Each structure stands twice: as structure tokens, then as C-alpha cells.
Amino acid sequence: MRKKEYRDILKRTLVILSVLLVIPLIYIFDRIKWKSDTDYLGIFIIAFGVIVLFIANRLGAETFRTEHDDNAFEYLLTLPISKAAIILKKLLPRLVLITPPVICYEVMMLLSKKIQVGGFVVSDFFIFRVEYFPLFVIFLLLFSFFTSLFGKKNFMGLLTIAALVVFALTGFALKILLEIPDVYLIQEHLAGLSFLISFFIVDLIIGPVFWVVFKKFDVKSLERHGEKFVLMALVPLILVSMAAIFILLTSNHAAGTV
């Protein structure tokens, strides 16, 4: 089963992985052969990061695509293996495949230092921070993975976009906080810690909710009430993000009045 998963994943992502591989090659060729005056590493990093996020979403979203298309989901659950083993066999190949691009991205980020693109410093932009990116990729992969249990592709896409918007708002709120010089060191530590913790909280919310759904309800119930179960995970996600923004802004106001 695991070997088949690797083959299926590679077939479905071969084109996008090829594009991903071309990006650093173009940059290397540009620096060595063309020797252009402008360093485009920042732009390449952004393009590379966006594609990695797309791959993570696609890998997670198509986890149970074959089973849904072939109406074989119920048969999958009748196999003499536990549901935990099914999840592991489905998830592990995807984590293995997404790891090399993430490592490549991290190396590119370390080489970039401080590169400005369109007024933004690449390494300061919330989604492209070196320490945040792997967690964001894992979150997106898990989010898409668990929602793929329901086969609700359009609904899952909307929820993924909603999650991205929530994290974008959180990221920009943290970026605003970091621009205040009076309490820069305190807020940098607070913002970074809050952002890292938020990913763990989100995964802790999403994992158990969908695990309970997968374990306790039959397939027909999942298909019929899937949206309700997805909302069970999305609502706490939004509330946690809103609470984090409120706490950070409140702490910033209090620190500014001292």
C-alpha cells in the first residue's frame, strides 16, 4: 500500500515538482551565465515558497481521491489494518515528499539574508520566515489531509483559503507590532513565540476533531455531515487567531502607555 502511495503521489505531482526544481536552476544559471546586475533571489524564493505551499495543499487534498473516485472508501475501512495505520500509510509518503522542497527553501532563505521585494523584506514577511515556513507547510498539509476524508473539494478549498486569510491577518498584525521601536525586543519575542505556538494549537485542534470523526462515524455520515465536522475545527482556529491578535494589540497598547 505504501509503495503504491509513493507511485501515485509522484505521478500526480511530477509536473509541479519539475517546475519547482527549475526555479533554483534558473537562479544559478542567471548568476553564473547571464551575470545580470539585479539579484532576483528574493523573487525566486517567493515563487518557490508559493509553489511549495501549493504542493502541500495538493498532496493533502488528494489523499483519498482514488478511494472517493472509485467509491472504494468503505472497502478501505474493511481492510484488516487499523485506522491509525491507514492514516500513517497515507500521510507518511506525503511528509517525505514535501520535506526536500522545504529544506531547499530553508537553504535559499539562509542565503538571501535581507532582500527587499516590492517594499517587503523577504525574511520578515510572515509566510516566508525561515522558522515559520515548515510549520505552515505541515499545517496546510494536515488541514487538507483531514478535510480530504469528506471528499468535499470545493468546500475544502474555501476553508483552506479562509485559514490562509486568518494567518495572513495574524501575520500582518504581528508585523505591525514589530515595527514599533520602543518595545521591539519584547514584541519580537512575543510575536515569534505566539506565532509558533499558534501552529501547534491549530494542529492540536484539527487532529483530534478529525480523528474522532474518522473513528466514530461511518462513511455515509461523513459524506452527509462533513461540513459540520470541518467547521468544528475551523471555528476554534478563527477564535484562537482572533484572540491572539487581540492579546498582542492590547499588550502593545499597554506597553506603549508605560
Q: What is the pLDDT of residue 199?
A: 56
| Segments in the chain below pLDDT 50 | 117-120, 122-128, 184-186, 255, 258
Instruction: Please tell me the distance from the alpha carbon of residue 243 to that of residue 236, in angstroms, as a whole number.
Output: 10
Q: Where are the domains of the chain?
A: 2-257
Q: How big is the chain by its Cα radius of gyration, in Å?
A: 20
Q: What is the pLDDT of residue 210?
A: 60
Retrieve residue 171's grid coordinates: 501575520
Q: What is the pLDDT of residue 126?
A: 44
**Which residue, among 108, 128, 150, has the nearest Cα to 21 in the 3D structure?**
108
Q: What is the pLDDT of residue 150?
A: 62
By three-state DSSP, how is residue 152 classified?
coil
H helix intervals, 38-82: 41-61, 65-69, 73-78
Dihedral Cα 212, 214, 216, 220, nearest 10 deg: 140
